[in-house]
A = this chain, B = another copy of it.
Amino acid sequence: MKFAKRNDYIEVSEIREILKVTEKPEIISFAGGLPAPELFPVEEIKTVCQEVLRTNSQSALQYSTTEGYVPLREAICKRMKNQGIDTKVEDIMITSGSQQGLDLSGKVFIDKDDVIICESPTYLAAIKAFKTYLPNFKEVPMDESGMIMEELEKVLKETPNAKFIYTIPDFQNPTGRTMSLSRRKKLVDLANKYDIAVIEDNPYGEVRFAGESIPPVKSFDTEGRVIYLSTFSKIFCPGFRIGWMCASETLMKKYVPFKQSTDLHSDIFAQMVTAKYMELFNIDDHIEKIKATYRHRRELMIECIQKEFPDGTKHTLPEGGLFMWVELPKGIKAKEVFQVALEKNVAFVPGDSFFPNGGCENTFRLNYSNMPDERIVEGIRRLGMVLKSFIK
């Protein structure tokens, strides 16, 4: 049998393999990107499931439209307007997690050997999703205020045929960094100037627990070239795989047929449950609980890091989201640290997989949303000891 060439560029995700190792209950894992499951609104979901099946069972269990359940798209529209994005129901499509928005973007935009532009580092599973369509990646360096616009313009000048700029402006995965307001505006200016699409991936934006909210890049989009992706995974629950995309009519016409041929539509029962939840309960109150928990865990983790990690390590100070980024002195390999840490039953994700073209082996990602206090304290203590054995 013969397979497609793309198989050579895709292998089982390193994170997934790491997660498998770290599933053992004795391991304190800062590796995954899991929300705190004790916060899932289980009783409310029980009520909502019954209500959907009581009032609307035949539609909830039947085939449905590719674009998604209209009342859910209306509720999303309203939330997006609150964030400064002036949109309409027709510009919203429900996706199977925001991950599917990435795969569909690959389908819509990427031909073999095309260039796509992303932050350095960037979300691992976005790299995998795009690699399916065989592009080359140009990475744009970041600082604490996100992608550096001068560097972006350099890349745009060098590669006039680049297909899109991929960015996670809020509490980026993996770094936890947030793009500044002025850079968001500049990003749209540059996209207009160089006639290129922007994919704004925003799964964490509503989980801000410090600092001031900054409007999404999409809110500055004057020419309908920003594709906005988001999800209920971090503000409700990920199990249902309900995400969405927001894009102009011209772009949506490209996306819908590919969504259709990929899975016809996303689980309509889960769509109705999500819509009904927002109708019967206050999701904003629920998000406040999530923020309070993550704020606390993030503060505790930073406190522990400052106490336990040796001099020479640096880390980011996220104002929201689930992740923090650690930089070790040059020459120290996070993968080797990982192996020793695993012997001490503590885990994280080595950073090099977040660079599409490799490198930066002295970095790693920490997740703080999924572990209770005592495990954060103990895990960072152990990790500090391991790091001290590497950094003399």
Interface set of A (CB-CB < 8 Å, partner B): 1-7, 10-13, 16, 32-35, 37-38, 40, 42, 45-46, 49-50, 53-54, 57-64, 66, 96-97, 99-100, 102-103, 107-112, 114, 125, 128-129, 131-133, 161, 163, 195-197, 225, 233, 237-241, 253-254, 256-258, 260-270
- Contact (Cβ within 8 A) B239 A10: no
Q: Are B6 and A107 in contact (CB under 8 A)?
A: yes
A12 CA to B10 CA, complexed, in Å: 29
| Partner of A240 from B38, B61, B110, B114 at Cβ < 8 Å | B61
A-B contact pairs, 19 of them (CB 8 A): A1-B196, A2-B109, A4-B111, A7-B254, A12-B253, A16-B260, A40-B57, A40-B62, A46-B53, A61-B237, A96-B266, A97-B263, A102-B261, A125-B264, A128-B260, A129-B262, A240-B267, A241-B263, A263-B263
Please give me the residue from chain B that is nearest to A241 by CB atom: B267
> Chain B nearest CB: distance from A304 CB in Å?
25
Task: State the Cβ distance, A100 to closest chain B Cβ, in Å.
Answer: 5
> Given known contacts A3-B108, A62-B34, A133-B4, is B268 in contact with A239 (CB within 8 Å)?
yes
Could you tell me the distance between the alpha carbons of A95 and B282 in the complex, rounded to whole angstroms?
32
The 8 Å CB contact of A239, one of B6, B37, B258, B269, is: B269
Q: Which of B10, B53, B102, B195 contacts A257 (CB 8 A)?
A: B10
**Assuming the A-B contacts A238-B63, A257-B128, are A197 and B1 also in contact, with contact meaning beta carbons closer than 8 angstroms in the complex?**
yes
- Smallest Cβ distance from A249 to chain B, in angstroms? 13
Q: Are B109 and A3 in contact (CB under 8 A)?
A: yes
Q: Say whether A16 contacts B241, CB under 8 Å.
A: no
A129 to B262, CA, bound (A): 6
Q: Verify A265–B240 contact, CB threshold 8 A.
A: no
Q: Which residues of B contact A35 (CB under 8 A)?
A: 62
Pair B103/A132 contact, Cβ less than 8 Å: no
List, in ascending order, chain B residues with CB within 8 A of A261's CB.
10, 13, 99, 102-103, 125, 128-129, 131-132
What are the residues of chain B within 8 A of A133 when measuring CB–CB? 4
A57–B41 alpha-carbon span in the complex (Å): 10
B257 to A12, Cβ gap below 8 A? yes
Assuming A42-B53, A125-B261, what are 12 further A-B pairs, CB within 8 angstroms? A2-B109, A7-B108, A34-B63, A42-B58, A49-B50, A96-B266, A100-B263, A125-B260, A125-B264, A128-B257, A132-B261, A269-B270
Assembled-state Cα–Cα distance A49/B42 (Å): 11
Give the top 7 A-B pairs by smallest Cβ distance, nearest first.
Answer: A61-B237, A128-B261, A37-B58, A61-B239, A42-B57, A96-B263, A49-B49
